[in-house]
Every structure is written in C-alpha cells, then in structure tokens.
C-alpha cells in the first residue's frame, strides 16, 4: 500500500477563506461582464434590425437602441447589482 501523501488542497482555515473570497470576487466580476455583454448584444441586435429591416431607418434604430439600453440597464444591470449572489438567500427579489 502506498504511503499517504498530503492532499494538495489541505490548507489552514485562512488559506481556504482567502481562496473562497477570491473565487467569489471572480464570479461576481464574471456575472457583471455577462450582464453587460447581454445588454449590449440586445441593443446592437435590436438597433440593426430596426435600422435595416424596417422603414424606420437610422433614427428609428437609434431610438430603439436607447429604449432597449435604458430598460435593460434598469431591469438587468442596476437591479441585479444590488442582489446577493446566492439565488436562494432570504430577501432576494424575484424577477418581477
């Protein structure tokens, strides 16, 4: 039987907490990046669709882009920044 080797992930409590805090910060930054990417994708797709696929033209696409950005910012980015990361925590607001 082989001798037991110390586990690579055996750290003291301070190291474990530091790893968890770093992971939480990385996850939070990634979540913010995804929200902004989704918002910008929605703005670009809706603006280009209205601009080129309807008779509304450039200014119709511009107005659509502004409306989608404002609604998306307040509905997705600003509201979610104030929410805790854990979706099951007490006090987290629902979708509506």
- Asked if the structure places residue 87 within a domain, the reply is no
Condensed to tens digits (0 to 9), the pLDDT of residues 55-76 reads 999 999 999 999 999 999 988 8
Give dist(CA 76, CA 73) in Å, integer: 6
- pLDDT at 21 > cutoff 60: yes
Domain that holds residue 31: 27-80
- Asked if the structure places residue 14 within a domain, the reply is no
> Taking Cα atoms as reference points, which of 74, 95, 91, 81 lies closest to residue 29?
81
Return the pLDDT at 86. Answer: 65
Return the pLDDT at 79. Answer: 75
Q: How many domains does the chain have?
A: 1
Residue 40 to residues 4, 20, 67, 86, 95: CA-CA distances in angstroms? Answer: 52, 30, 12, 25, 20
Q: pTM for this structure?
A: 0.69
* Percent of the chain's residues with pLDDT above 90: 41
- Asked if the structure places residue 56 within a domain, the reply is yes
Return the pLDDT at 80. Answer: 73
Across the range 69-95, mean pLDDT stands at 74
Phi-psi region of 57 (alpha: psi -120 to 50; beta: other; left: phi over 0): left
Give dist(CA 26, CA 28) in Å, integer: 5
- Asked if the structure places residue 90 within a domain, the reply is no
- Asked if the structure places residue 94 within a domain, the reply is no
- Asked if the structure places residue 65 within a domain, the reply is yes
For residue 73, give the 3-state DSSP assignment: helix
- pLDDT at 18 > cutoff 90: no
């Amino acid at each position: 039987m082989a001798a037991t080797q110390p586990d690579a992930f055996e750290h003291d409590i301070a190291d474990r907490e530091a790893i968890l805090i770093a992971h939480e910060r990385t996850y939070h930054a990634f979540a913010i990046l995804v929200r902004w990417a989704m918002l910008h994708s929605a703005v670009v797709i809706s603006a280009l669709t209205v601009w080129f696929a309807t008779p509304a033209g450039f200014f119709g696409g511009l107005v659509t882009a502004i409306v989608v950005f404002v609604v998306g910012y307040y509905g997705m980015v600003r509201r979610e920044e104030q929410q805790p990361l854990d979706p099951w925590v007490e006090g987290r607001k629902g979708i509506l």
